[in-house]
Structure 1
């Protein structure tokens, strides 16, 4: 299997599995229409949950895109996909709605995870084994 197909498979698994792992779905009622949630605040545990759950997805996305020109950007975009899916589903709930504030927390978490992964971690393999180390790379 080629490197591209390995990364594609990992990305597909990440996107598929992340919906269940992401911040809880609160839709206990039926679906219909599309609603925006305007009553939520910018601070609170909900935003911290969105940030915390999206950071590992951004980190994984940056690791998957480590050989591209801009791994932190591509990793953050890939890591934000689960948040977009979750908020879109919330938007169709009769009891909830699409929250751009939650999506912002998702994007910020994904970018933070992607940037920290790209900046701090390196993975190398040799004939003697594999190693994970800390490094600094100024390529954004």
Structure 2
């Protein structure tokens, strides 16, 4: 058994299973590992939000990209979209149970990035100096 940071137990079998099923796992990892998906999950972790609330909280995301991201998350069962019968109709997005379970590793990843940002930036600087960039 391998003990990973954050106390997630990962066995050799877990690793072998992920690699064996990589055709199935890869597209989902691509979606959940996307920066916009991560930021939407983090934003919705604090409770239901309307589209424009989400857009305001995520700096740099276009309306089109947010729409695509929310649709993909809804398709994969991570986000619940609720339409309220008002005039005009109001739409709210919230994490499903599956999405909330994803929010834990996503938040851990975000925390890891913040905790290691100085070291990562220093490594990037060294790399650019070494490679003439």
Q: TM-score range by the shorter chain?
A: under 0.3
Between structures 1 and 2, the one with greater helix share:
2
TM-score (norm 2): 0.28
TM-score, normalization by structure 1: 0.27
Q: Which has the higher contact order (CA 8 A, sep 6+)?
A: 1
